[in-house]
Amino acid sequence: QKEVEQDPGPLSVPEGAIVSLNCTYSNSAFQYFMWYRQYSRKGPELLMYTYSSGNKEDGRFTAQVDKSSKYISLFIRDSQPSDSATYLCAMWAGTYKYIFGTGTRLKVLA
């Protein structure tokens, strides 16, 4: 079983839709959970990070963690064409490295 699993998509939605992106993980040692956005041929850019189970909101973005199910989500409200990118989940277990999911490619259609 992979440490972090993420549906690669692509996911196409109309402008204004609510987008749900998800990752599952197997390593219960993961403590922090990050969502990065990556535009084509660019470096990952941190959107949000969460620690505990529950929700964390930042503008149109909400990150959700369910440690009991080993499941994390990122919701994007009122999606815009500029949100079109690849969204990477990443996890940190207290060592030096991040473990990334494969990324979900999102396309928001105008």
Partner 1 sequence: EPEVTQTPSHQVTQMGQEVILRCVPISNHLYFYWYRQILGQKVEFLVSFYNNEISEKSEIFDDQFSVERPDGSNFTLKIRSTKLEDSAMYFCASSDSRLALYNEQFFGPGTRLTVL
Nearest alpha carbon to residue 39 among 6, 87, 77 = 87
Quick one: 17 or 107, whose CB is closer to partner 1?
107
With beta carbons less than 8 A apart as the criterion, state whether 11 and 74 touch. Answer: no
Quick one: 28 or 110, whose CB is closer to partner 1?
28
Q: How far is the CB of 3 from partner 1 (least distance, A)?
A: 10
Nearest alpha carbon to residue 21 among 75, 68, 64 = 75
Residues lying near partner 1 in the complex (CB under 8 A) are found at 31-32, 36, 41-46, 49, 51, 88, 90, 92, 94-103
Q: How far is the CB of 97 from partner 1 (least distance, A)?
A: 4
Q: What contacts 41, CB < 8 A, 6 or more positions away?
A: none
Q: How far is the CB of 18 from partner 1 (least distance, A)?
A: 25
Neighbours of 110 (CB within 10 A): 8
Q: Report d(CA 15, CA 73) in Å as an integer.
A: 20
Quick one: 72 or 79, whose CB is closer to partner 1?
72
Q: How far is the CB of 12 from partner 1 (least distance, A)?
A: 18
